[in-house]
């Protein structure tokens, strides 16, 4: 059984809604797993090495993750080297279509790659990770659920592969 953390910062609720839809997709995947959804402020840093996958979400603030998410990433240095080989993912919301949501996703993924984590892109839809612009519409929420399913499946595949070696 895989264990996944979906951790987000959200001030006005949009990124939180995305996190909930991603978790819904994971739960609807039909695969067995334990999924924890936490606000970044309530996430126990010591718990990170216990997860097979860590998915982080943030609003776009000046084209980058919010300060609280950046602080979380900076403080994750206590686990440097211990998250190697785990699955990483990111999602973001923004007010404007070209408001920097992709640069926010990429900034989070850069940090996760430095941790040695494995990132999966998507040849269709949201290539780097799901994004929402303004109030989420049905299509954006559906893409969050699809992403959740993909992350669940990939985490399971990767874990099974590693444990066979
Ligand atoms: C300090 C601050 C900076 C922001 N910077 C941007 C930005 O650069 N580009 C953008 O499109 N939206 C920007 N926004 C809007 C938020 O990214 C957007 O409203 C987001 O969906 C809020 O997420 P939340 O509801 O989860 O808090 C900014 C908002 C704040 C408060």
Mean pLDDT of 14-25: 98
Pocket lining: 135 vs ligand 1, CB cutoff 6 Å:
no
Q: Which residues of 143-157 are buried (b: 16+ CB within 10 A; e: fewer)?
A: bbbbbbbbbbbbbbe
Atom of ligand 1 nearest to the CA of 99: 11
Render pLDDT for 59-82 as a digit per residue (tens, 0 to 9).
999 999 999 999 999 999 999 999
Asked whether the beta carbons of 109 and 122 are under 8 A apart, the reply is no
Cα gap 153→140, rounded to integer Å: 20
Q: Is the pLDDT of residue 5 over 70?
A: yes
Burial of residue 57 (number of CB atoms within 10 Å: 0-12, 13-18, 19+): buried
Q: Could you tell me the distance, in angstroms and rounded to a whole number, from the CA of residue 151 to the centre of ligand 1?
A: 25
For residue 109, pLDDT over 60 is answered with yes
First to last CA, the chain: 18
Do strands 2-8 and 53-61 pair parallel, antiparallel, or not at all (unpaired)? parallel
Instruction: State which ligand 1 atom lies nearest to the alpha carbon of 100.
Output: 9
What is the model's pLDDT at position 39? 98
Question: pTM for this structure?
Answer: 0.98
Query: Ligand 1, from 10, 59, 62: best to mutate by most atoms within 8 Å of Cβ?
Result: 59
Q: How confident is the model over 43-51, as a mean pLDDT? A: 98
* Residue whose CA lies nearest to ligand 1 atom number 7: 62
The yes-or-no verdict on residue 17 having pLDDT over 80 is yes
pLDDT-derived band at 110, boundaries 50, 70, 90: very high
Distance of CA 16 to the CA centre of its chain: 12
Per-residue pLDDT at 165 exceeds 60 = no
Band (97; pLDDT cuts 50, 70, 90): very high
CB-ligand 1 contact for 94 (6 Å cutoff): yes
Residue of 141, 159, 162 whose CA lies nearest to 2: 159
Separation of 95 CA from ligand 1 center, angstroms?
6
| C-alpha 59 to ligand 1 mean position (Å) | 5
Nearest-angstrom CA–CA distance, 88 and 121: 11
Mean pLDDT score of the chain = 97
Position 164 confidence tier, pLDDT thresholds 50, 70, 90: low
Task: Find the mean pLDDT for residues 93-97.
Answer: 97
Domain ranges for the chain: 2-164
Domain 2-164: CATH architecture, name and number where available: 3-Layer(aba) Sandwich (3.40)
């Amino acid at each position: 059984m895989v264990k996944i953390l979906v951790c987000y910062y959200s001030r006005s609720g949009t990124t939180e809604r995305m996190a909930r839809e991603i978790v819904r997709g994971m739960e609807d995947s039909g695969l067995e797993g334990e999924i924890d959804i936490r606000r970044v402020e309530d996430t126990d840093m010591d718990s990170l090495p216990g997860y097979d996958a860590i998915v982080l979400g943030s609003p776009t603030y000046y084209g980058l993750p919010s300060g609280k998410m950046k602080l979380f990433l900076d403080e994750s240095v206590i686990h440097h080297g211990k998250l190697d080989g785990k699955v990483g993912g990111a999602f973001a919301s923004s007010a404007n279509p070209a408001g920097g949501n992709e640069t926010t996703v990429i900034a989070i993924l850069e940090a996760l790659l430095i941790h040695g984590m494995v990132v999966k892109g998507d040849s269709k839809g949201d290539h780097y990770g799901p994004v929402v612009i303004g109030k989420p519409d049905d299509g954006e929420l559906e893409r969050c659920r699809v992403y959740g399913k993909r992350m669940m499946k990939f985490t399971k595949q990767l874990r099974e592969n590693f444990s066979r070696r």
